[in-house]
Amino acid sequence: MYTIPLIAGVFLVWYSLAILTEEEKYAIKNSFKTANYFWIGCALFMGFLSNLSRAYRFRFMLEPLGYMPNFLNSTMAVFSTYLVNLIIPRSGEVLRAGLHKKYDEIPLNKALGVIVAERISDVLMLLIFIAIAFSLQAPVIESILFKNSTPTSIALKLLILIACPFLIVKLYRYFKKSNNATVKKIVLFIQGLGLGIMSIFKMKKKWPFLIHTLIIWALYFIMFYLGTYSLKEIEGITLDAVVVGFVVGALSMTITNGGLGVYPVLVALVLTKFGQEKVAALAFGWILWTCQTLLVIVGGCLSMVLMPIYNDWLKKKESKG
């Protein structure tokens, strides 16, 4: 089950390259060579700053629960999350909670609950960007995302989305009445998870949390925008195209592992609909996705190696003090 998105992503990478002509493949390779990596570097720096902001925001959410993780631990946990998510979708969130349990002594369920709350705030921000994109270019987004959808399939998806929360609440109430020891442990875990999610409403520093949430998504958008300067062929792209391209790119990240095989194709599809040449649009998508993925891999690998070393150093420092 967990390997399906990865397999689908690899297939899409192969397929998207297989349908290109030799001339188009050569043009894309040449775009990698001629791209202005100064702007790519600036874009990646924005991505790096967004991770720092995310790590700092995490501390605001844990404060009402009586915990304050080390900032470097929080930062390295964020990078580790993205790295593991490239292999198994959403497993990085569990790893992140586990890292905070190990190094910051934060209960797993509460850390995971806060991470879920984080994701909820991120979904809300994405919905805001989707609303902005629809207000600018609704026909373009509909043609890309809902091309093969029927009114029946859309209604069914909405029905499932609405029914799920009610089903979860009903199951929770049923399990809460059980006297089974295992079930009780599950209920306690869910309660801790709920406390983590509710921390978003209990935190004293709501405004700093909101500001950091806005900063994170502003940095994501700026990262995409700065990337457009990397290729001369797509310089001068309109703001509408940037907003829609950013939204579709962000959504593609949820389809396969880190947008593998999907991100470049969908971003290119958006840009071509705004008049950009196909090869240049596809090259841009591949360059931006490749560089973002390399940042995740390098940052994640370094974090996984350095995190235990750093925490061992902290323990020795505390014992001497």
> What was the pLDDT predicted at 119?
83
Q: How far apart are CA 292 and CA 303, in angstroms?
A: 16
Per-residue pLDDT tens over the stretch 228-241: 999 988 877 888 88
- H-state helical runs in the chain: 3-18, 22-34, 37-62, 71-87, 91-104, 108-145, 151-176, 181-202, 206-227, 239-252, 263-273, 278-320
Residue 109 binned pLDDT confidence (cut-offs 50, 70, 90): confident
pLDDT digits (tens, 9 = 90+) for 202-221: 667 778 888 999 999 999 99
Burial class, 208, CB count within 10 angstroms (exposed 0-12 / middle 13-18 / buried 19+): middle
pLDDT at 81 over 90: yes
Which is more confident, 205 or 194? 205
Question: What pLDDT does residue 316 have?
Answer: 86
Q: How many CB atoms lie within 10 A of CB 127?
A: 10
Which residues lie closer than 8 Å to 83 by C-beta, 6 or more apart?
A: 92, 296, 297, 299, 300, 301, 303, 304
pLDDT for the residue numbered 223: 95
pLDDT value at position 74? 94
Sign of the alpha-carbon dihedral angle for 115, 117, 120, 124: negative
pLDDT per residue as tens digits for the range 143-183: 655 555 555 554 555 555 555 555 556 665 666 666 666 66
The pLDDT score that the predictor gives to residue 50 is: 95
Query: pTM (2 decimals)?
Result: 0.78
Whole-number pLDDT of residue 225: 94
71-80, 186-195, 238-247, 255-264, range with the lowest pLDDT: 186-195
State residue 229's pLDDT score.
92
* pLDDT averaged over every residue in the chain: 80
Residue 136 has pLDDT above 60, yes or no: yes
pLDDT above 90 (res 256): no
Q: Residue 192, Cα to own-chain centre: how many angstroms?
A: 24
pLDDT at 77 over 80: yes
